Amino acid sequence: MTDPSHYLFWMTSRAAGTTAMVLASTSVGVGLAMGGKLFKRFGGPDRRHIHQTLSLAVMVALAVHALALLGDTYLRPTVLDVMVPFALSYKTISTSIGIVSAWAMVALGLSYYLRSKIGYQRWKAIHGFTVLAWIGGLVHTFTEGTDAGRLWFIALILLTAAPAFVLLAMRLSARRSRHPQPTPALGESG
């Protein structure tokens, strides 16, 4: 039997990465529901504190995910490797997508606390990029790591991401219906 202490940092990083993705999917889903006024339609109190708490928990899980790798005896990454895109030679593209997505999630999450300084409308426009950072995290999740191809892992990530994708589709659909594209008149080429 293999001594699990040899894999402690790797297992910790895996667990924290999985936790970060589940929390990020939940946070994005709650954020989309709030932005789409879904909670107000069905009654209930403001869910902002839930969204904030989830966002902060994502940041903590991302930090543990990256920092735990520093103790991994197989990869032996440096601080630079886990903090800077394209620094680590292991699955460079996937790793870099994860690093960029993590930094974006942190910056966009913390931007909430700067809303009054940057202006609400500008903040709202910037905060919309959180969905892209989340999708980048999903790409990283499914293209790197030991669990990426395991059924339990795929099911967990898809089950937690599905509500956010449904809410995103609803948001995009509502936006299209508010701003329909002009259709060319008969005989016009377009």
pLDDT of residue 182: 61
Domain presence at residue 87: yes
Count structural domains, the chain.
Answer: 1
Please name the residue ranges forming H helices in the chain.
Answer: 8-35, 38-41, 48-69, 79-83, 92-110, 115-118, 120-127, 130-143, 151-178
Domain presence at residue 173: no
Q: What is the pLDDT of residues 5-39, one digit of tens each?
A: 778 999 999 999 999 999 999 999 999 988 876 66
Domain presence at residue 69: yes
Tokens found for residue 13? 């990083």
Q: What is the pLDDT of residues 118-158, one digit of tens each?
A: 999 999 899 989 999 999 999 999 999 788 889 999 999 99
Mean pLDDT of 163-172: 92
Domain presence at residue 9: yes
Residue pair 9/70 in contact (Cβ under 8 Å)? The answer is: yes
pLDDT of residue 175: 75
Domain presence at residue 179: no
Containing structural domain, residue 35:
4-168
Domain presence at residue 37: yes
pLDDT of residue 74: 87
What is the value of pTM for the model shown? 0.85
Domain presence at residue 114: yes
Domain presence at residue 190: no
Say whether pLDDT at 183 is over 60. no
Quick one: pLDDT band at residue 1, thresholds 50, 70, 90? low
Quick one: pLDDT band at residue 177, thresholds 50, 70, 90? confident
Longest dimension (CA), the chain: 75
Say whether pLDDT at 190 is over 60. no
